[in-house]
Amino acid sequence: MEFIVHNENNLSQYENLLWGDRVVGRASAMLLVKFKAKAIYGKIVSTSAKAFLEGKIPIEYEILVPFIKGREGRGICPMERLVEDTLDIEEGFKRLKEFLKV
């Protein structure tokens, strides 16, 4: 998130990167669309991340889950909750930026 915020005006030089992560939820999916990743691999991917990425960025995964859990292991991750009601990348980015105070 910090990298994207600090390089927001120069993201085009990083386009087409292949991205891998252990967990990919809708919040990170939004950031990766903004980042213009070429393809994504996630060990664990939420159904909302998969649906959001459909037609935007190819994604491969090992485990598909209904939602990403918060760090405490109960309930939905706070980052996911922030963006669950929007499909707008810029709105999601704004919410995440405010939440993380970046």
Residues 27 and 88: their CA atoms lie apart, in Å, by: 11
Average of pLDDT values for 50-64?
Answer: 97
Reported as a single tens digit per residue, the pLDDT across 70-97 is 988 889 999 999 999 999 999 999 999 9
**Closest by Cα among 24, 34, 27 to 4:** 34
φ/ψ of residue 81, rounded to 5? -60, -35
Average of pLDDT values for 7-16?
Answer: 80
How far, rounded to the nearest angstrom, does the alpha carbon of residue 69 sit from its chain's CA centroid?
14
In the predicted structure, residue 27 carries a pLDDT above the cut 80: yes
In the predicted structure, residue 22 carries a pLDDT above the cut 80: yes
CATH no. for residue 63? Answer: 3.40.140.30
Per DSSP, 77 falls in state -
Residues 99 and 97: their CA atoms lie apart, in Å, by: 6
In the predicted structure, residue 14 carries a pLDDT above the cut 80: no
From its phi and psi, is residue 55 left (phi > 0), alpha (psi between -120 and 50) or beta?
left
> In which domain, by residue range, is 20 found?
2-100
In the predicted structure, residue 65 carries a pLDDT above the cut 80: yes
> How many structural domains are present in the chain?
1
- Per-residue confidence (pLDDT) for residue 11, from 0 to 100: 77
